[in-house]
Amino acid sequence: MVMTSTLSMPKKVRKIGSEHRKDSPLERFDPNTADPEYTGNYSRFEYIETFKDWVRVCKKGASPMAVRTRLYDLIQPLFDVLVNKGLSTTQRKAAWTAYDSAVKRAPAILADIYLGDFTEDRFRELVEEVSPAVSELENVRYHRKERNMDGALSINQVLKFFRRLSTDYGIYSLPTPDYFIGCACGASEIAFALGGITDTPANLIRRSKRRDDTKTHIIPEEKAILEKTLPGKIALCFEDMVCSGRSLYYVMKEAKDLGAKEVVGAAPYQNNGWDVTNELRVIKREGEVYGGLNLFTLR
């Protein structure tokens, strides 16, 4: 069942913001953007067991909410196999080809979903583009991990977070970002969606407590890209939910080590039951409000 949004606003998108901050990607998000009438979670969609199964299921067509989930269903398992050892040369080439296509197309697809402009065309193009590469992964283990976005954060809540970034970010005298990074695969949806909405480069670096990560993980091929594109940039790193902030800290530090000029962290939810690590400076904390504004910098 599709639930109707409680907010009703005109669907004006990709609007340049106020004159004094026209250079900021955050001002390219129109605070009056409509909330698309999409809701749902992973459990309502067909289960996927293999990479080839992903193609089979996606070729049937999909609703906007299903496509939001299907993008993660491809990006996260591919990320995992690419950071782990064990792929043959042919398999690695195929996995990277599929992953690279997915992360390049995800921003535009997610922007359409978040802004209520979804058609299946962009997603169908992605499915057709990755199908040959995915067919080479028949013997590669497919494993999808649950993410916070599945059950806790709706599109409307993330849009609320984007609105707060657009209207309030400048209040705290933080540097204007020109690069977005998602912390782990789940939070990459936030970075990719806002990247697509504002035409801003977006990428992901994984450090996940629920994955028992003790360090950051970056696909080697992706690290080479980040080493070329991140130096001199001001990176805004997104986490979907912050508890201690340790994962966010590690990703922010990695972005800094890769050459980012300055780094800011942001999240639409912060668990009040946790103390934020001393390695982060809390700039703004709204805590247990889904879609709230929580901002951090490195100490």
Give the pLDDT confidence of 39-50 residue by residue, as tens digits.
555 555 778 999
Give me the torsion for CA of 24, 28, 30, 34, rounded to 10°: -140
The average pLDDT across 62-71 equals 88
Q: How high is the pLDDT of residue 4? A: 31
CATH number of 149-298: 3.40.50.2020
Q: How high is the pLDDT of residue 24? A: 78
Q: How high is the pLDDT of residue 16? A: 28
Q: How high is the pLDDT of residue 36? A: 53
Band of residue 10 on the pLDDT scale cut at 50, 70, 90: very low
Is the pLDDT at 287 greater than 90? The verdict is yes
182 strand-pairing partners = 204, 238
SS3 of 123-134: the string is: HHHHHHHHHHHH
Band of residue 63 on the pLDDT scale cut at 50, 70, 90: confident
Give the C-alpha separation, 103 to 225, whole Å.
Answer: 13
Band of residue 132 on the pLDDT scale cut at 50, 70, 90: very high
* Rounded percentage of the chain residues whose pLDDT exceeds 90: 68
Is the pLDDT at 286 greater than 80? The verdict is yes
240, 187 in Cβ contact below 8 A? yes
Band of residue 28 on the pLDDT scale cut at 50, 70, 90: confident
Least-confidence region, from 4-18, 46-60, 63-77, 178-192: 4-18
Domain spans of the chain? 34-137, 149-298
Q: How high is the pLDDT of residue 17? A: 31
270, 242 in Cβ contact below 8 A? yes
Radius of gyration of the chain from Cα atoms? Answer: 18
The average pLDDT across 138-153 equals 85
Bigger pLDDT: 289 or 9? Answer: 289
Is the pLDDT at 12 greater than 50? The verdict is no
The average pLDDT across 132-141 equals 96
Is the pLDDT at 15 greater than 60? The verdict is no
Per-residue pLDDT of 203-258, as tens digits, reads 999 998 888 889 999 999 999 999 999 999 999 999 999 999 999 999 999 999 99
The average pLDDT across 177-193 equals 95
Mean pLDDT of the chain: 87
The average pLDDT across 252-276 equals 97
The average pLDDT across 57-76 equals 91
- Between the two ends of the chain, the Cα-to-Cα distance in Å is 46
Q: How high is the pLDDT of residue 210? A: 80
